[in-house]
Amino acid sequence: MDLVISRPEGLYCPAGDFYIDPWRPVERAVITHAHGDHARAGNQHYLAAAPGETILRARLGQDINLQTLRYGERLLHQGVFLSFHPAGHVLGSAQIRLEYGGEVWVASGDYKIEPDGTCAPFEPVRCDTFITESTFGLPIYRWQPQAQVFAEINQWWQANASVEKTSVLFCYSLGKAQRILHGIDARVGPILVHPAVEPINRIYREAGVYLPPTIHAADIKKSDPRMRKALVLAPPSAANSSWMRRFGDYSDGFASGWMRVRGTRRRRGVDRGFVLSDHADWTGLLWAIKQSGAQRIMVTHGSAGALVRHLREQGLDAMAFDTQYGNDEEDVVIAKAELVGGLP
């Protein structure tokens, strides 16, 4: 019998009677990370990796019934050994390792291979069956080294600042914003943030992640000269909102793996697209799958079909797992909406 199966509520472990990142309320939920498509409200019990505790409570409520384990710490539950291992995606993100009856399964959640300094780097975990995401599971998705992307962002910001124009960079508020803050050259000018971003910054700083000083955008007047040299970080949902009026004439950019798709940038109507993702690219997915040593691969999210086909050609036992992941991440929602023609 399979250690993890797909049920209407989510991925389910029959032996341990718990769900992994369920999308409907259940008794026991084991959570890979705090993004909205993986961590949902309404479950009776939560189990997650300790570094993600503060973010989970901030998003789901301080009073959720949450138990945590350090990375690598093992818990025995109804005969199933359960442990969390770094996924390198956002602070506290984890792969979930399950061992039962001599068999090992790993559910990846979302993961990224390149270490970024804002969370524990991805660690390959050996297993018999690997449940992998495939948000960017097409060969067209291959990321540049992040240092190159940060250099591009710095140049764009510098060029705008030199003509006294505010730079507004849209990015997902949990994970991406902090990664950008950590990676850019903060000497170029002041950094302003949207109210959705700053509470997460505070959590990262408390966890010991270095982020340069940031200012609440509301604390600076439109007439303040600092405004025109500033970089503003805001979630994509702030675009076209009245919140943007305070910046007058600005240049805008969008940082997302979806910027790799030709045409998305133009349709989005931003001046610049920066290809920066917190997910593994095609090469990264294949690398992680190989490192796992698994002979059986279950593919969730995104482009499951293409990845499944490719893995079968390599002689692996691969199949798609139907899930509802990938629906709530802001940049994904917006980019997809635009690929099919216009925001709702």
Q: What's the angle, vertex CA 10, arms to CA 289 and CA 237, rounded to 5? A: 85
Residue whose token pair is 């991925």: 11
3-class SS of residue 61: coil
CA distances for 317 relative to 305, 309, 313, angstroms: 13, 10, 10
Give the whole-angstrom CA distance, residue 111 versus residue 327.
Answer: 16
Q: Whole-number minimum distance, CB 172 to Zn ion, in Å?
A: 9
Shortest gap between Cβ of 149 and Zn ion (angstroms)?
19
Bridge partners (DSSP) listed for residue 104: 99
Q: Are the C-beta atoms of 38 and 29 separated by less than 8 Å? A: no
Task: Specify the amino acid at residue 269.
Answer: G
Structure tokens at 337: 């909406």
Q: Which is nearer to Zn ion, 38 or 228 (CB)?
A: 38
Taking the least distance from each CB to Zn ion, the nearer of 80 and 119 is 119
Q: Is 220 helix (H, G, I), strand (E, B) or coil?
A: coil
CB of 241 to Zn ion, least distance (A): 24
- Distance in Å, CB of 37 to Zn ion, minimum: 5
SS3 313: helix
Question: Of 66 and 94, which CB lies nearer to Zn ion in the complex structure?
Answer: 94
Q: How far is the CB of 32 from Zn ion (least distance, A)?
A: 8
> What residues line the site for Zn ion (CB under 5 A)?
35, 37, 110, 325-326
Match 């384990």 to its residue by tokens. 69
The two structure tokens encoding residue 201: 């910054």
Least distance to Zn ion, CB of residue 93, Å: 7
Pairwise CA distance, residues 226 & 44, whole Å = 48
Residue placing its CB nearer to Zn ion in the complex, 135 or 214: 135
Closest approach, Cβ 111 to Zn ion, in A, equals: 9
Show the tokens assigned to 92.
């506290």
Name the strand (E) or helix (H) holding 48.
strand 45-49
Q: Which is nearer to Zn ion, 118 or 167 (CB)?
A: 118
* CA–centroid distance for 263 within its chain: 23
Smaller CB separation from Zn ion, 57 or 77: 57
